Each structure stands twice: as C-alpha cells, then as structure tokens.
C-alpha cells in the first residue's frame, strides 16, 4: 500500500537521470500488455520509455508519478556469480528514472531515485530519497539558496569543518583541506 503523503513528481524538470531527448510515451498496445501482466499506474501518460522497449519484461509493478525507463529488452547481466535477467518485476516505483538494461525485482518501495544503467536492485524493503536531494554534487537548483546545500563534516565529528561535496571528491581531498587538531593551517601561495 502506498503512503499517500509521499510527494509525487508530475513533470520532467525534477529528475535528471534518463535523458528526455529519446524517450516517448507508451502506446495503447503497450499499456494493454502492461495491464494484462498485473502492472498498474496512477497515470500511464506519465511513463516515458526509450527504444528498444519490451513491455513483456515488466510484471507485477505499480507505478506512481513521473517515471522514465531506459532501454529494456531481453538481456542478461552477469556479476561473475549469477545471471540477472533484465526487466522490472514485483516492485513499487514512484517518480524515478531507471537506466538502460536494469534488473529490478521484488522491491517494496523505490521512490525518487535515479538508477543508472545495468543496475541490479533486488529484494529491498525501501529505497528512497527526498525531492531536494543533491546526490553529492552540491548544486543548488534554480530558486534554491546556497544554504540548501548540505556540508559533510570531516576529520572532527564534532563539526566545524564542513565541506560542500562535489562530484569526484575523494577522502584524500577532504583530508588535505584541513590541518589536524593542533597543527597550523596550510599556507597556500598563488
């Protein structure tokens, strides 16, 4: 059962995973196939897909809000131990982007996430984030203040050494930004 207090994205401007450039809405035939396979949606017109798209690879899923699904056709992902068959099965998905050739199965609740290409997500109770998540990139969206960007406290867990994260930052980058307790600050000369 879906918690009705969960916000649902109603448009493309809130998400940044699957590119809108090559997506399309579902056809009537695809919607019929999806429904015949036990899938449901609060609004089928809010689901966008990329080519190739095989609706027979989706079974027992509930979709809410704006969903983008990457390339989906018969394919097998292998992690060296076992095979995972691409498709979406028995999962509740809310306002999320799903990358190309993913295996998503038996998840009780996936909400407001961007799932990359070739991902395997299986057997989870909840995977979610808020509409205001920054995904570690410290980028304020249009209309947001810089204060909305969280900082990460490093070295001293008591705070006071916060760093705004950015894509590609490493633990060594954090460490080099701050002197250890009792040491003088680095002198940086231009």
pLDDT tens track for 102-114: 999 999 999 988 8
Which residues have CB under 8 Å from 149's CB, separation 6+?
A: 134, 138, 139, 140, 164
Rounded Cα gap, residues 96 and 124, in angstroms: 16
Q: Which two tokens stand for residue 115?
A: 């799932």
The pLDDT assigned to 19 comes to 58
Mapped onto helix, strand or coil, the DSSP state of residue 139 is: coil
DSSP state of 35: H
Quick one: average pLDDT of 146-164?
65
The pLDDT assigned to 8 comes to 44
- Cα dihedral sign, 56-91-132-171: negative
Top-confidence residue, 35 or 162: 35
Rounded Cα gap, residues 187 and 156, in angstroms: 21
pLDDT tops 70 at residue 165: no
The pLDDT assigned to 3 comes to 39
Contact yes or no for 65/37 (Cβ under 8 A): no
The pLDDT assigned to 118 comes to 94
Quick one: average pLDDT of 42-60?
97
Q: Lowest-confidence range among 123-132, 156-165, 168-177?
A: 156-165
């Amino acid at each position: 059962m879906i918690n009705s207090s969960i916000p649902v994205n109603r448009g493309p401007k809130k998400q940044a995973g699957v590119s809108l450039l090559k997506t399309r809405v579902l056809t009537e035939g695809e919607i019929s196939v999806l429904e015949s396979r036990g899938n449901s949606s609060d609004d089928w017109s809010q689901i966008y897909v990329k080519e190739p798209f095989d609706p027979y690879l989706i079974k027992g899923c509930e979709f809410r809000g704006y969903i983008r699904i990457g390339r989906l056709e018969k394919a097998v992902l292998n992690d060296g131990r076992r095979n995972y068959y691409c498709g979406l099965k028995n999962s509740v998905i809310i306002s999320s982007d799903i990358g190309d050739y993913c295996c998503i199965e038996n998840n009780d609740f996936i909400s407001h996430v961007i799932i990359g290409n070739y991902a395997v997500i299986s057997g989870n109770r909840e995977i979610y984030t808020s509409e205001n998540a920054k995904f570690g990139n410290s980028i304020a969206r249009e209309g947001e203040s810089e204060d909305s960007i969280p900082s990460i406290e490093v070295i001293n867990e008591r705070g006071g050494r916060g760093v705004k994260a950015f894509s590609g930052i490493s633990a060594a980058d954090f460490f080099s930004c701050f002197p250890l307790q009792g040491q003088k600050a680095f002198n940086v000369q231009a």
